[in-house]
């Protein structure tokens, strides 16, 4: 492409700055990107190349000179002791070789060594520890000042509140907050069920979770962290990045699970290739490999530009995509009645597995991407987990493609549908598809935990007319079960025993299983602990619901509305008639001495019973269970290989019980 004239370059630079700034705001401030990283990086590279070719057009406020996004008004500002820089990145192996050659030239025949680490696609975070204690957590922000998200970070299970061993008096730890792939998949399934827009990728889900104003919501998202470096460090630094990793591990900080080594450009390129093959097995999403000079004194000598260090570069992998045919768009009905369009694809192999279906989320998503039945489409996996249709290859159309329209009636039961926000919903409460999904969820492990009542059997029972609502589970008879295909005497007996045992499950499991909008495991526990019985909850006002810390306006309104619905009240009465525990049995198991009343417990280490069982014992005896040790903690139950929580308890003088002492205290 011929070089642009000065006036054309000026016009294009102005245009690019506006485009890049717009997408920067969407990515960093809104956590809602509209284009891929590859497209964004291409725009930014074009802008940087034009500014390099026309130095008089370079301005201090250009996006090429900025780091990250601006701090948000909702959070207190937190100034980094040492600024957080970003990394130069490339998609080109040749540019990686040029980087290695530049480092070798700067080293002037001194021995150099590189580390190659996974580039975790998360939210950059800086933790400040003083005398080993976590005192502040801040996002990158503009590189100089970020958002103080300490309270939310305190809820992340694998971040120690106090470092082990003997860390420096003051140290900034740099890393990434991420959402594990499995949690990301579950979260998007739940959002689809509720008619909410899906998260584009784990990074956006993690950012949205970390920026929740309520730490209780952040805690429910099950975030995790991984660390790769430091900022401020009082005292003498170790000689190499490898030594920093070893120290961070000794302090109890999670670090990258795989770090490769290389000494020249060929071995660096080979390490990048190797990292690309193994990255699909990591628990976090990765979008590249980071190449760093290992020697810390050489890092200091080579320094940085205004934006990025000269001693490191990020190689970004091209998104793994595949072309295939969009054979059809079907509609799936969820347990809340939400109609979700699903792409039926000609099977294609991408990111380690064969993909034949992909959710399209909602009608607006299909229209935005202009997807048509019969299109040739590009497929990739969001977060390397969830198959996603990226775009239609419109130049491949031959005129036979069909525009998709959402059905005017429910594809399962034929009832009418109505629109709520971006979601279409079935108006019938007796829709077979909804019944199946509701029963599957009610019987699942996170709810009533009815062993043997899985998806396939629920489908059989619904199709046979044996299950038409959740309460019908408790009317099943052995003779009817034995009439089903592949159902033997032993399987039928075991299922009926599991169903009978579920009647006495604690109230929180029933609340979670009922499918009340927005109510999950954590909020179900909080509701059960606060109201004690289902009847008390059913008569609660929105104001009394809002008195619970984890319940917000939307959830309070949804819970109150659910208990005003006559069909839901009929279900509750039916379950009462089948002798399910509505909370009264929970109270009946509480000893008259209420021996753990006014106690707050933290569990740590490996126990012979599950943490769930131990927590149930504590709650049943009037105590509370929390996730982190604080001055409000009254007891710590410590099993084998207990970690930082145990050390913090010792420092605060909190009583620590082993399992034997715990059983003696509780009579368990």
Catalytic residue positions? 119
Instruction: At 380, list the tokens.
Output: 């990739």
What is the Cα–Cα distance from 667 to 637, expressed in whole angstroms? 15
What is the Cα–Cα distance from 24 to 69, expressed in whole angstroms? 7
Residue 84: CA count within 13 A, CB half-sphere: 31
Cα distances (Å, whole numbers) of residue 163 to 155, 219, 248: 16, 21, 9
Q: Greatest CA separation found in the chain?
A: 87
- Count of other CB atoms within 10 angstroms of residue 152: 25
- Count of other CB atoms within 10 angstroms of residue 640: 10
DSSP string, 488-527: -HHHHHHHHHHHHHHTTS-HHHHHHHTT-TT--HHHHHHH
Contacts of 302 (CB under 8 A, 6+ apart): 103, 106, 293, 309, 310, 311
Q: State in Å, rounded, how far the first CA of the chain is from the last one.
A: 78
Is 337 in contact with 424 (CB distance < 8 Å)? no
Instruction: At 264, list the tokens.
Output: 């020249």
What is the Cα–Cα distance from 196 to 207, expressed in whole angstroms? 17
Residue showing tokens 């991408």: 350
What is the distance, to the nearest Å, from the Cα of residue 206 to the centroid of all Cα atoms in its chain? 5
Is 329 in contact with 149 (CB distance < 8 Å)? no
DSSP string, 455-469: HHHHHHHHHTTS-SS
Instruction: At 362, list the tokens.
Output: 């909602």
Which long-range contacts does 135-142 make (Cβ < 8 Å, 24+ apart)? Answer: 136/78, 138/78, 138/80, 139/68, 139/71, 139/210, 140/67, 140/68, 140/69, 140/84, 140/86, 141/68, 141/69, 141/70, 141/71, 141/77, 141/78, 141/84, 142/66, 142/67, 142/68, 142/69, 142/70, 142/71
Angle separating helix axes 659-666 and 611-620, nearest 10 degrees: 30
3-state class of 605 per DSSP? Answer: coil
What is the Cα–Cα distance from 515 to 447, expressed in whole angstroms? 10
What is the Cα–Cα distance from 342 to 365, expressed in whole angstroms? 11
Is 666 in contact with 617 (CB distance < 8 Å)? yes
What is the distance, to the nearest Å, from the Cα of residue 611 to the centroid of all Cα atoms in its chain? 22
Tell me how many helices (H) and strands (E) the chain has. 25, 24
Residue showing tokens 């975790």: 120
3-state class of 288 per DSSP? Answer: strand
Nearest alpha carbon to residue 245 among 237, 253, 235: 253
What is the Cα–Cα distance from 498 to 503, expressed in whole angstroms? 9
- Count of other CB atoms within 10 angstroms of residue 489: 10
DSSP string, 182-207: HHHHHHHHHHHHTTPPPPSSHHHHHH
- Count of other CB atoms within 10 angstroms of residue 666: 18
């Amino acid at each position: 492409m011929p070089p642009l004239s000065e006036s054309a370059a000026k016009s294009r630079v102005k245009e690019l700055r506006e485009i890049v700034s717009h997408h920067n705001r969407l990515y960093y401030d809104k956590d809602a990107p509209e284009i891929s990283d590859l497209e964004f990086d291409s725009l930014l590279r074009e802008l940087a190349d034009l500014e390099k070719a026309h130095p008089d057009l370079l301005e201090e406020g250009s996006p090429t000179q900025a780091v990250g996004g601006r701090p948000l008004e909702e959070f207190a500002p937190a100034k980094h002791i040492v600024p957080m820089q970003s990394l130069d990145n490339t998609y080109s192996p040749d540019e990686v070789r040029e980087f290695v050659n530049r480092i070798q030239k700067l080293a002037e025949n001194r021995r150099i060594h590189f580390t190659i680490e996974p580039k975790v696609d998360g939210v950059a975070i800086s933790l400040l520890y003083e005398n080993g204690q976590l005192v502040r957590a801040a996002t990158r922000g503009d590189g100089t000042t970020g958002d103080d998200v300490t309270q939310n970070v305190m809820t992340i299970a694998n971040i120690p509140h106090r470092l082990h061993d003997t860390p420096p008096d003051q140290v900034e730890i740099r890393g990434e907050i991420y959402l594990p792939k499995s949690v990301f998949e579950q979260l998007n399934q739940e959002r689809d069920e509720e008619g909410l827009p899906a998260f584009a990728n784990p990074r956006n889900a993690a950012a949205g979770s970390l920026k929740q104003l309520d730490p209780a919501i952040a805690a429910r998202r099950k975030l995790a962290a991984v660390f790769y470096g430091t900022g401020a460090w009082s005292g003498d630094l170790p000689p190499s990045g490898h030594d920093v990793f070893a120290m961070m591990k000794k302090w109890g900080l999670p670090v990258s699970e795989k770090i490769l080594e290389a000494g020249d450009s060929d071995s660096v390129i080979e390490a990048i290739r190797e990292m690309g093959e193994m990255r699909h097995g990591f628990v976090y999403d990765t979008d590249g490999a980071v190449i760093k000079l290992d020697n810390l004194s050489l890092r200091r000598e080579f320094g940085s530009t205004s934006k990025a260090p000269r001693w490191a570069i990020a190689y970004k992998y091209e998104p793994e995509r595949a072309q295939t045919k969009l054979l059809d768009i079907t509609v799936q009905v969820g347990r809340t009645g939400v109609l979700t369009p699903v792409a039926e694809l000609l099977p294609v192999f991408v990111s380690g597995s064969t993909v034949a279906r992909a959710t399209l989320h909602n009608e607006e998503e299909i229209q935005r991407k202009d997807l048509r039945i019969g299109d040739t489409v590009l497929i990739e996996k969001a977060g390397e987990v969830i198959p996603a249709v990226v775009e239609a290859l419109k130049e491949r159309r031959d005129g036979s493609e069909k525009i998709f329209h959402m059905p005017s009636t429910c594809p399962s039961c034929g009832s009418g549908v109505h629109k709520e926000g971006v979601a279409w919903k079935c108006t019938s409460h007796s829709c077979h598809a909804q019944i199946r999904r509701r029963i599957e969820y009610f019987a699942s492990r996170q709810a009533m935990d009815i062993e043997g009542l899985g998806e396939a059997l629920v489908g059989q029972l619904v199709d046979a007319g044996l299950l038409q609502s959740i309460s019908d589970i408790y009317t099943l008879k052995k003779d009817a079960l034995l009439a089903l295909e592949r159902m033997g005497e032993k399987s039928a007996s075991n299922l009926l025993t599991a169903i009978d045992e579920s009647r006495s499950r604690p109230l929180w499991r029933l609340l979670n299983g009922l499918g009340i909008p927005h109510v999950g495991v954590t909020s179900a526990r909080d509701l059960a602990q606060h109201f004690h019985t289902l009847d008390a909850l059913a008569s609660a006002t929105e104001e009394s619901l809002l008195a619970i810390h984890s319940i917000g306006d939307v959830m309070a309104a949804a819970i109150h509305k659910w208990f005003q619905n006559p069909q839901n009240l009929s279900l509750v009465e039916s379950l009462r008639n089948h002798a399910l525990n509505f909370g009264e049995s929970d109270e009946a198991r509480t000893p008259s001495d209420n021996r753990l009343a006014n106690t707050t417990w933290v569990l740590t280490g490996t126990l012979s019973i599950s943490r769930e069982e131990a927590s149930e014992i504590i709650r049943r005896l009037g105590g509370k269970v929390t996730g982190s040790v604080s001055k409000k903690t009254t007891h710590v139950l410590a099993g084998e290989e207990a970690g930082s929580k145990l050390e913090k308890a010792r420092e605060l003088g909190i009583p620590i019980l082993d399992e034997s002492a715990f059983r003696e205290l509780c009579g368990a």
